[in-house]
Amino acid sequence: MRREKRLADLVEDLEGEPIGTWEGATVTGVAIDSRLVRPGDIFVAIKGERTDGAYFVPDAVKNGASAVVLPFYAGNGGGVPGVRVSDTRRALPVIAARFYDYPVRSLTLSGVTGTNGKTTSVYMIGAMLREGDKEPGLITTAEVITGRSRFRPEYTTPEAHDLHRYFRDMVDSGITHACMEVSSHGVVLGRVIGIPYSVGIVTNITPDHLDFHKTFEAYLEAKRDFVRMLGREAVCLLNYEDRNVREMASEAESWVFTFGFAEKADILAREVKYGSEGTSFSFELNRELPMCGGRGSIRPMSMDLTMPLHGRHNVLNALGAAAAALVLGVEQGAIVDALSGFSPPVRRLQVQEVNGYKVINDVAMNEGSYEAVLETMASMECPQLVVVNAIRGNRGPEVNARIAKVLSKWNKRLDFAPLIVTASRSHVALYNADYHVRPQEMDAFLETSREEGMGFSVHEELPPAIEEGLSRLKPGGVLLLLGTFGMDDGARIAVERLGGR
């Protein structure tokens, strides 16, 4: 059964100019894509990177929109009531929260931002909450879990009308805690306006999404804005090992705690031991940590943690997640148990062993994530390493040139060249979004590889690239699969082929 709200209740105090008469007008849904409008929806015309919703108002009305929210430069609203405002993007989360009866007020929310580690950190917090008998809702790049449904979202941080719908589903399912990734797009585009996070984590910052932000400073500013939006009662957890993140402490009004390996950090990882089966370390809290909701605080303490994950970056992810769990009221024993049995999200350094071979699969997407994966590989016993990399499409030449430079640097130590490169053309064509590799992106990657002295072979499609990798793989060797959407099917192909050996 669809919800129904009076138009006046959704828009009456928005600063703007009324369109038509609101008397008797009702709304039964919120939409931003004219093609997805259903009868009774309010259509909010937002401006995207390629199109402007204001041009599609007639289509929205034709499809049954009962009301519209438009920018001032738009037309007359197509004969339905509504309002003109200066910023439709900022109006959308307000309307969505009202339409869904402010579900965030019934949730304890955690938000994780940063270039890398967001998904793993959110899953860790979710696992700890679950072990502590608090079933959480999750919103991540990999999947959304609302209690009513489970699916892969279009965006890391969904648009505001979808976000509040997911929150509503969580509340209606009896969920009290939600953990989510907060992308730089989500901050800049106003998707998270009005969300009262109890805990915020910043994992790390390296150049990414420069196609959208244009400069690294603008990208960094989006992450600072997330820290600024945390309220005074919230706890902000900052990675001390990243100078850009550490310096965000001065931007926060909330409680600030740092985590890392340095003695100056408030939350430390000591006695870190990396092994073939995973990692162990001591979590040490050196300052009294407030719990959310005014439920007291956690005094300085330590606990021994073990996890079946590899890499320094995952120790940092675990430090931030464990600290967040403490703030949320999870007992130490539940944190220990959750981490010891933790399964990484899809394609986050996933390891599969088949017939004496090992396939390691990671959704590396920028220089920081490639650096973390290859640093981890250097710490593991690996008699032979073969690397297949899917070029990152529709993200610009600079990102791919930086990735090639990182791979070339680590090749000097790990000796995996010739690198196997693929554009995965048929595989990326299956997605709704455009992840096709542009010629200039491939050229930037290959030219940088040449300049750095790293040999390579190139395949237009994914299966031949995987086949070449397997043909070079010796018993006991490791096939490392890297890249975003173009490598999503790589592990399945590799494991099937190896299973037949």
Same domain for 374 and 310: no
Q: State the CATH number of the domain containing residue 38.
A: 3.40.1390.10
Same domain for 437 and 371: yes
Q: Between the CA of residue 411 and those of 372, 374, 492, what are the distances in Å?
A: 14, 9, 25
CB–CB of 261/295 below 8 Å? no
d(CA 241, CA 203): 9
CB–CB of 371/406 below 8 Å? yes
Query: What is the pTM for the complete model shown?
Result: 0.90
pLDDT at residue 276, rounded to an integer: 79
Longest CA span, the chain? 74
pLDDT at residue 433, rounded to an integer: 80
pLDDT at residue 293, rounded to an integer: 85
Same domain for 369 and 320: no
**Per-residue pLDDT tens listing for the chain (501 residues):** 679 999 999 998 998 999 999 999 999 999 999 999 999 999 999 987 778 889 999 999 999 999 999 999 887 778 899 999 999 999 999 999 999 999 999 999 999 999 999 999 999 999 999 999 998 999 999 899 999 899 988 888 999 999 999 999 999 999 999 999 999 999 999 999 999 999 999 999 987 776 776 798 999 999 999 999 999 999 999 999 999 999 999 999 999 999 999 999 999 999 999 987 899 999 999 999 999 988 899 999 999 999 999 889 999 999 999 999 999 999 999 999 999 999 888 888 888 999 989 999 999 988 989 999 999 999 888 889 999 999 999 988 999 999 999 999 999 999 999 999 999 999 999 988 889 999 999 999 999 999 999 999 999 999 999 999 999 999 999 999 999 999 999 999 999 999 866
What does 100-140 look like in DSSP terms, one character per residue?
A: TT-GGGG-EEEEEESSSSHHHHHHHHHHHHHHTT-PEEEE-
Same domain for 254 and 388: no
pLDDT at residue 155, rounded to an integer: 84
Same domain for 151 and 58: no
Whether 98 is covered by a domain: the verdict is: no
Per residue in 20-31, is it b (16+ CB within 10 Å) or e — as a string? bebeebbbbbbb
Token pair of 320, please?
């931030």
pLDDT at residue 429, rounded to an integer: 94
**In the Cβ-directed half-sphere of 202, how many Cα atoms lie within 13 Å?**
34
Whether 433 is covered by a domain: the verdict is: yes
pLDDT at residue 165, rounded to an integer: 97
pLDDT at residue 501, rounded to an integer: 62
Domain C-terminal end among 340, 359, 381:
340
Whether 96 is covered by a domain: the verdict is: no
Whether 67 is covered by a domain: the verdict is: yes
Q: How many CB atoms lie within 10 A of CB 179?
A: 30
d(CA 65, CA 83): 14
Same domain for 68 and 193: no
Same domain for 23 and 57: yes
Strand partners, 259: 239, 267
pLDDT at residue 114, rounded to an integer: 95
Whether 94 is covered by a domain: the verdict is: no
Same domain for 373 and 286: no
Segments forming the whole domain that contains residue 61: 5-87
How many structural domains does the chain have? 3
